A and B are shown apart, each in its own frame.
Chain A
Amino acid sequence: MAVNVDPDLQREIARFGGHDVSLCMNCGLCTAICPLSEESGSSFPRRVIHLLQVGGADKLAQTVDPWLCYYCGECSESCPRDANPGETMMAARRYLTARYDWTGLAGLFYKSAAAEITGLAFVGLLVAALFVFFHAPVVTDHVELNTFAPVHWVELGDLVMAALLTFFLLTNAARMAWGFMGGAEMLRISPFVYLKQIPVFLVHFFTQRRWRRCGSERSTTHWLTHVILVSGYLSMLTLVLVLLRWFQTDEVHSFYHPQRLWGYYATAALLYGTVTFMISRWREADPMHRFSEASDWIFLVMLFLTALTGIIMHALRIADLPMATYVSYVIHLAIAVPMLVVEVPFGKWAHLFYRPLALYLTSVREAAALAARQPAAAAA
């Protein structure tokens, strides 16, 4: 099967932050120095960059190489042309996220900060409007959050949102899998193989442990910060999606109550992670954070604001300031909801899903290939 070329791919990738593709002379130093490339049996970043150069868009959509890179930055530091292979891999991930997304929103948001902000603002205003027009009675002599925003209604809204996000994310992920596994080929693999490899997905989803193979101290630090951030994020998600009835209570528990401790941990982890990464991006000292697209900033800022508004609201509630609590609650949701709606299926959040998925699919393919060989060997 010949590769049909799309000569405009170079221009397209520039819109996702890959500005230096044309500088690359394919020397391969990046691939030689990459600590992850060889063990993947691939030859990224060079292969990915070359696909971008020649315009092998379809071919690129069929590879998961960009998801196997954790941007340790050694390639960018050693590139003799300053072609920033690491950032090109980052741009390829943005491009792929957009390409998997059948709604076209991801591409729109990545290419235009204005569009992304508009999207966030739209969802945020929608959430605010819901509360402005449909809120329950406002008790003003003391804080009664569950009267203002009855927890079962909020929970219902949560579940509807979760269902929508899951639908978009999974359909996009299915498109990724379809391309990588060779279309209908993927249906020929036994469902048991898919099931058996699920632990691979879970391990990588929760630990991102492959990142540590980058080997450098700097990468390990980033990995640790990222794990903390993810743990904070997943804590928050668990508390508001699964345990909302236990989490959103009018009764103020003692400080050592698990509800409060877990909530504080989530807030601290989110604040620490986002602030650390924002400082690093601001300083541009680390190769991983030298280049920041608007989408990178927006995600960090939204996560940060989610945690910040959450903890402010919590403080106001403890101070027993009813109106301030209700207003900050609405603001909190008007930030958290759009952050989830826009970022999970259409934005940077998706990488949390696609990275482990890439490793999972690779394992499935390897296991299937092994299984196909063994009967043949047994027959022989």
Chain B
Amino acid sequence: MTGGPAKDRRIGVFLCHCGGNISDYVDMEKLREAVKEELGVVEARTTMFACSDAAQQEMIDAIQKERLDGIAVASCSPKLHLFTFRAMAERAGMNPYQYVQANIREQCSWAHRGEVDKATEKAADIVRAAIAKAGLSEPLRPMRVETKPQVLVVGAGVAGLRAALALSDLGLTVYVAEREERIGGWTARLGAMFPAERRGTEMVQELERRILERENVTLFTRAEVVEKSGSVGDFSVRLRVRETESIALNVGAIVVTTGFDAYAPSDGEFGFGQDGVVTLPEFKRMLDEGEGPLARNGKPVRTATYIYCVGSRQNEEAESPNRFCSRYCCTATCHAALVASRRDKNVRQYHLFRDMRTYGKYELVYEAAARKGSVFVRWDPADPPAVSRVDGHLVVRVKDRLLGGEALEIPSDLVVLVTGMVPRENASLVNALKLPVGGDGFFNEIHPKLRPVETVVDGVFIAGAAQGPKTLAESVASSLAAVSKSAALLLKGYVDLEPFVAEVDPLRCTWCEKCTEACPYGAIEKVAADGREVARVIPSLCKGGGACVPVCPEEAIDLLGYSDREIKGMIDALAKEAVHA
């Protein structure tokens, strides 16, 4: 170990002007003077742009020439360049984890414009703390885990089936677990779909045929995940199949594509329960069955009225309102209206909507529906439409925002409640996989734009409508994203995990279990050491969150890379000036 006392260390400090972003408000020469005599510092210099190739090469030369074993770069936020400089340190032959970034831009120069003296003082404190950390740093190694080239796909809707095919194309062995007897999910029951008029039934048949041809894909129906252990790259999963069999699988990654459920209106909600009031899925089934003008119970449907946003964008004080927009239903309804007008060009259709969300090229579907005579009426959520029965006929009353709130009364043969998507009931799966569930009940990704299919559980990916309402195309796009992510993980053969994990000192540990309660990842297990029960951190599960460290009454836990010693050293360095004053 090259840790050792700081006085024996050889530390380099690089102070970045960032073009002027920093040097306009921090006196760089004063800063260099203030930190160059710090304990262990053998090299302190300024640079115009530390992140430039030339500056990086200069730092590499300095590291090698001065045989540096710790460096601090004072520049921007580590969010921007932590990995840049860590890689630079590695290229120079240093242990990359003995590099420390001091943020004197976002946290200093940008925040204290026009106060050069004070900003310079603060920058010196920040850099001193970074030097102290570098001086106390230990060389760390990433953990390498061998990965299993096998993937479990949970849910055999179109998203899951497409994921399975794509994974199989990449040479990975795939297991697909479907809870239902039949595969294909909602799509298997659909007729013509937007935007290409492809029939859902045919699409699923085609996928099923292709799946069955694959030798490296195994499909389990009526199968549920009951248990998962292990970590990214090497999970052990147990399936219960057909309520009797138990199957153990060893997979490197898990893709969850469990889909959605259709919102079920409660009795009386927009007239639901009355004869002639149906949900969107029911209406689509009506459209798919039979030919010619629509009829219901033998009676012709001459006027159909659609009430949008049923079960979506709820903002009433209901127990758990669905606040989200279901995204797909506007387009699906406009498309259904087109299908209806194909069957009967004289059918009259009233669309009572809140906001029309036929985004992107689906605008064309909306326009086509309007051209075929669909009428669109916008209502106010504070005053929703009401469905009643007058002399045995359904009448929808809606206040029209474009007529200054005057009410229209629309006699209707059929009222279609445009019901959206809701999360599926998945409690046992959530429990088994430790899946993160958002406030809306759908599974949560790490970041909707930057990391859209990854979860906080490494190696477990989510895709399709399981993570929120999506159109079929969007659902498949996200499932292919999950395929890319899992294949990138598994085809390499191993994963390197960050070394910032917690460590338990077995001599101090008394197994009070406070740390296991604090850990959200289930990364702490009980082991026997010298005949005592003590805690041990499973490195591959530990995220370095640090929740266990402060709760330990015995101070038996340390977080590598952020040890108590390092943090205290930084605090001392920050307080140094204050003490002198």
Contact = CB atoms under 8 A, between A and B. Distances in A.
A55 B375 contact: yes
B345 to A, nearest CB: 11
Contacts of B371: 22-23
Given A47-B403, A50-B402, A26 B410 contact: no
Contacts of A46: 402
B436 interface: no
B407 A54 contact: no
Interface string B400-418: 1011001111110000000
Contacts of B376: 25-26, 53
Contacts of B373: 10-11, 22
Contacts of A92: none
A5 B403 contact: no
B403 A56 contact: yes
Contact of B348 (A7, A26, A59): A7
B303 A3 contact: no
Contacts of B350: 5, 7, 54
B402 A2 contact: no
Interface string A119-146: 0000000000000000000000000000
A51 B367 CA distance: 19
Contacts of B367: 23, 25, 81
A292 to B, nearest CB: 23
Interface residues of A, number: 23
Nearest to A25: B370
B303 A4 contact: no
Given A7-B303, A23-B370, A2 B375 contact: no
Contacts of B366: 25
Interface string A2-27: 11110110110000000000111110
B402 A26 contact: yes
A186 B195 CA distance: 54
Interface in B375-395: 375-378
B375 A59 contact: no
B363 to A, nearest CB: 9
Contacts of A8: 348
B397 interface: yes
B408 A53 contact: no
Contacts of A53: 375-376
Interface size class of B (residues with CB under 8 A): 20 to 34
Contact of B408 (A5, A22, A25, A47): A5
A5 B409 contact: yes
B348 A54 contact: no
Given A26-B402, A46-B402, A4 B409 contact: yes
A3 B410 CA distance: 9
B408 A2 contact: yes
Nearest to B409: A2
Nearest to A26: B402
B214 to A, nearest CB: 47
A22 B370 contact: yes
Given A25-B370, A26-B402, A47-B403, A54 B377 contact: yes
A3 B402 CA distance: 13
Contacts of A7: 303, 348, 350, 375
Contact of B403 (A22, A24, A50, A81): A50
B370 A3 contact: no
Nearest to A50: B402
A59 B397 CA distance: 16
Interface string B154-185: 00000000000000000000000000000000
A50 B378 CA distance: 11
Contacts of B402: 26, 46-47, 50
A3 B375 contact: no
A174 to B, nearest CB: 25
A372 B170 CA distance: 82
B367 to A, nearest CB: 8
Point out which of A3, A7, A8 has the most chain B C-beta atoms below 10 A from its C-beta.
A7
Nearest to B372: A22
A54 B409 contact: no
Contacts of B303: 7
Point out which of B348, B371, B373, B375 has the most chain A C-beta atoms below 10 A from its C-beta.
B375
A3 B403 contact: yes
A54 B397 contact: no
Interface string B312-323: 000000000000
Contacts of A11: 373
Nearest to B402: A50
B153 to A, nearest CB: 41
B403 A51 contact: yes
A128 to B, nearest CB: 45
Interface in B395-443: 397, 400, 402-403, 406-411
B349 to A, nearest CB: 9
Contacts of A56: 403, 408
B403 A59 contact: yes
Contacts of A59: 403, 406
B400 A54 contact: yes
A47 B133 CA distance: 70
A25 B371 CA distance: 11
A81 B407 CA distance: 27
Contacts of B378: 26
Contacts of A81: 367
Contacts of A5: 350, 408-411
Contact of B409 (A3, A10, A24, A50): A3
A5 B375 CA distance: 11
B415 to A, nearest CB: 14
Interface string B196-235: 0000000000000000000000000000000000000000
A142 B402 CA distance: 69
Given A4-B409, A7-B348, A54 B370 contact: no
A50 B376 CA distance: 9
Contacts of A25: 366-367, 370, 376
A25 B348 CA distance: 17
Contacts of B403: 3, 47, 50-51, 54, 56, 59
B407 A2 contact: yes
Given A22-B371, A50-B402, A3 B348 contact: no
B544 to A, nearest CB: 53
Contacts of B348: 7-8
Contacts of A22: 370-374
A298 B113 CA distance: 78
B351 to A, nearest CB: 11
Nearest to A51: B403
A46 B378 CA distance: 14
A43 to B, nearest CB: 8
Nearest to B397: A2
B338 to A, nearest CB: 13
Interface string B20-62: 0000000000000000000000000000000000000000000
A50 B366 CA distance: 16
A251 to B, nearest CB: 63
B210 to A, nearest CB: 41
A53 B371 CA distance: 11
A187 to B, nearest CB: 24
A163 to B, nearest CB: 41
Contacts of B406: 2-3, 59
17 contacts: A2-B409, A3-B406, A5-B350, A5-B410, A5-B411, A11-B373, A22-B372, A24-B370, A25-B367, A25-B370, A26-B402, A50-B400, A50-B402, A51-B403, A53-B376, A54-B400, A56-B403
Given A2-B409, A5-B411, A26-B402, 10 more contacts: A3-B400, A4-B409, A5-B410, A22-B370, A22-B371, A22-B372, A47-B402, A50-B403, A53-B375, A54-B400
The 10 closest A-B pairs by CB, nearest first: A7-B348, A2-B409, A2-B407, A50-B402, A3-B408, A22-B370, A53-B375, A5-B410, A22-B371, A5-B408
